[in-house]
Amino acid sequence: MALYEHVFIARQEISSSQVENIVADLTKVLEENGGKVLKNEYWGLKTLAYKIKKNRKGHYVLLNLDTPYPALAEMERQVRLNEDILRFMTVSVEELEEGPSIVLRSKADKERRGPRGDRPARKEA
């Protein structure tokens, strides 16, 4: 079986629990066709670089997959039919990254650093 990284962006109007349901549905499709999801990371609601289908933000999710191509093709077909998914990309990789992805690591680094030098700390609203 081949290794893939699959990232998709879901609409901003849906909740994070609905995003988890989408991931569960995609996992089920893969497992029914002989594949498996090795890692599932929810990156959060992020601002898009440009509007996609009138959306300014989107829920980002990363899936690391170990699956045969027919299972991947079926999962991508399901993604295309899902109206809540704005964009997706699947990339074939030689090996999958262990531990948290670079996105989650950079997010943790920002939280650990605290406020910048002489700038006052932001007030939480």
pLDDT, one tens digit for every residue, the chain (125 residues)? 889 999 999 999 999 899 999 999 999 999 999 999 999 999 999 999 999 999 999 999 999 999 999 999 999 999 999 999 999 999 999 988 787 777 777 776 666 666 666 666 667 65
Number of domains in the chain: 1
pLDDT of residue 117: 64
**Residue at 113 is within a domain:** no
The whole-angstrom separation of Cα 125 and Cα 117 is 22
**Residue at 40 is within a domain:** yes
pLDDT of residue 104: 74
The whole-angstrom separation of Cα 68 and Cα 111 is 38
Which range of residues forms the domain containing residue 45? 2-95
pLDDT of residue 118: 65
**Residue at 106 is within a domain:** no
> Please, is 35 exposed, middle or buried when counting C-beta atoms within 10 Å of its C-beta (0-12, 13-18, 19+)?
buried
**Residue at 125 is within a domain:** no
pLDDT of residue 11: 95
CATH number of the domain at 19, please.
Answer: 3.30.70.60
